[in-house]
Amino acid sequence: MNRSDPDGVLSDPFESNIDVSHKVTSKNEFSIRQADRDDVQMLESIEREAFQGTSTFVRIDRDLVRENAVYLAAVRDWLPEERELGRRYSISTQSQKAYDSLLARIKRNFYRNFLDKVTKPKLPGDYIAGFIGLWFVLDETHVVMIALRDKDRRKGIGEQLIISALEHAVARGARIVTLEVRQSNEPAIELYLKYGFHKVGLRRRYYDDGENAVIMTTPQIQSDDFQRQFTRLLEQHSYRWGWVPRPEFGAPKSDSNEVV
Ligand SMILES: CC(C)(COP(=O)(O)OP(=O)(O)OC[C@H]1O[C@@H](n2cnc3c(N)ncnc32)[C@H](O)[C@@H]1OP(=O)(O)O)[C@@H](O)C(=O)NCCC(=O)NCCS
């Protein structure tokens, strides 16, 4: 797997002429799956880490049971050293209010001082690095939130989540994908621009600290033009980061690609 891009060949995806169709594509350690109610504590802990106390208008626990919402999570197996976190990890991922309550503190001390020593700590099923939340409204898909843990950023996972969101939107017959983003959020804006979103307007003082939101939207995602560019970006992502399995969508089709 080639994780670097020393020659800068991937820096301009829409213009790049690199032929990725004959490269070996290894498998990434992460895969994408739909999040469910069991994941809510981990998703909320990622939200807290990513947005650090700023209001996001999103209720993940409610969205996870809404029919017109889908949350996709980037997951992997726990690493051996992370198994030590055990029960403590699941406790530390509870909602902030629950985490700070007196009862939670008593429970935490009880686990730390007693239960961890006599029982085998139990981790949630998967380690989750980040997630994207989507709402489907008529023929539009709206990205309500995307967030990565700090330590998992700049590894192509945010990009993979956008890829997966676009795949879901296309599969559900959406015409366009829309979102709002803080005007100062350069990493996120760069990510969206890379995937063909463009700025279409401004919601003034949209956030509770007074910052403006930029409204961004894709072109028609079912169009041949968009699909051609999207496929190219998808191939480049696989080539750079390894193929990321996602059950609803198959592996690359090229005969010469070897997906390990
Ligand atoms: C925005 C965010 C999801 C990006 O995720 P990520 O996994 O770090 O991004 P990736 O490694 O997949 O990068 C994909 C592209 O995003 C852009 N990007 C990501 N981080 C960037 C940064 N720090 N500066 C500039 N561009 C950046 C680049 O275009 C990058 O493509 P490249 O690698 O070819 O340069 C992540 O930074 C995050 O969780 N931020 C906090 C939460 C947030 O702001 N969410 C958006 C709310 S609308």
* Residue owning the nearest CA to atom 11 of ligand 1: 154
175 close to ligand 1 (CB < 6 Angstrom):
no
Task: Note whether 48 and 96 are within 8 A (CB).
Answer: yes
Closest atom of ligand 1 relative to the 10 alpha carbon: 34
Nearest to 135 by CA among 76, 184, 70: 70
**Active-site residue among 71, 89, 111, 192?**
192
Domain count, the chain: 1
Q: Is residue 225 part of a domain?
A: yes
Nearest to 145 by CA among 160, 161, 157: 161
Q: Is residue 7 part of a domain?
A: no
**Nearest-angstrom CA–CA distance, 134 and 32:** 14
Q: What pLDDT shows up at residue 249?
A: 81
32 close to ligand 1 (CB < 6 Angstrom):
no
Q: Is residue 183 part of a domain?
A: yes
**Nearest-angstrom CA–CA distance, 91 and 185:** 31
Nearest to 44 by CA among 159, 160, 133, 123: 133
Closest atom of ligand 1 relative to the 153 alpha carbon: 8
Q: Is residue 237 part of a domain?
A: yes
Residue 122 vs residues 90, 119, 240: alpha-carbon distances, Å: 8, 9, 34
Range of the domain at 143: 31-77+126-241
3 close to ligand 1 (CB < 6 Angstrom):
no
* Residue owning the nearest CA to atom 43 of ligand 1: 147
| Mutation probe of ligand 1 site: the residue of 5, 12, 154 with most atoms within 8 A of C-beta | 154
pLDDT tens for the chain, 260 residues: list them.
Answer: 334 433 333 344 444 444 555 565 689 999 999 999 989 988 988 998 899 867 677 899 999 999 999 999 999 998 888 866 655 555 445 555 565 677 777 776 766 666 556 665 567 889 999 999 999 999 999 999 999 999 999 999 999 999 999 999 999 999 999 999 999 999 999 999 999 999 999 999 999 899 999 999 999 999 999 999 999 999 999 999 999 999 888 766 554 445 54
64 close to ligand 1 (CB < 6 Angstrom):
no
Our answer to whether residue 192 is catalytic in this structure is yes
Q: Is residue 231 part of a domain?
A: yes
The phi and psi torsions of 160 (rounded to 5 degrees) equal -65, -35
Residue 256 vs residues 20, 24, 167: alpha-carbon distances, Å: 10, 7, 23
Q: How many CA atoms lie within 13 A of 239 on its CB side?
A: 18
The phi and psi torsions of 186 (rounded to 5 degrees) equal -60, -45
**Active-site residue among 44, 47, 159, 180?**
180
Q: Is residue 216 part of a domain?
A: yes
**Nearest-angstrom CA–CA distance, 110 and 103:** 10
Amino acid at 189: I
With tokens 């307007």, the residue in question is 201
For residue 95 the two structure tokens come to 């909602």
- Return the beta strands (E) in the chain as ranges: 31-34, 69-76, 127-137, 140-148, 176-182, 198-203, 213-217
Q: Is residue 119 part of a domain?
A: no
* Residue owning the nearest CA to atom 31 of ligand 1: 191
Q: What pLDDT shows up at residue 41?
A: 85
Q: Is residue 253 part of a domain?
A: no
- 32 bridge partner residues: 74
**Nearest-angstrom CA–CA distance, 259 and 248:** 17
* Residue owning the nearest CA to atom 44 of ligand 1: 188
| CATH (domain of 156) | 3.40.630.30
| Mutation probe of ligand 1 site: the residue of 153, 162, 232 with most atoms within 8 A of C-beta | 153
126 close to ligand 1 (CB < 6 Angstrom):
no
Our answer to whether residue 207 is catalytic in this structure is no
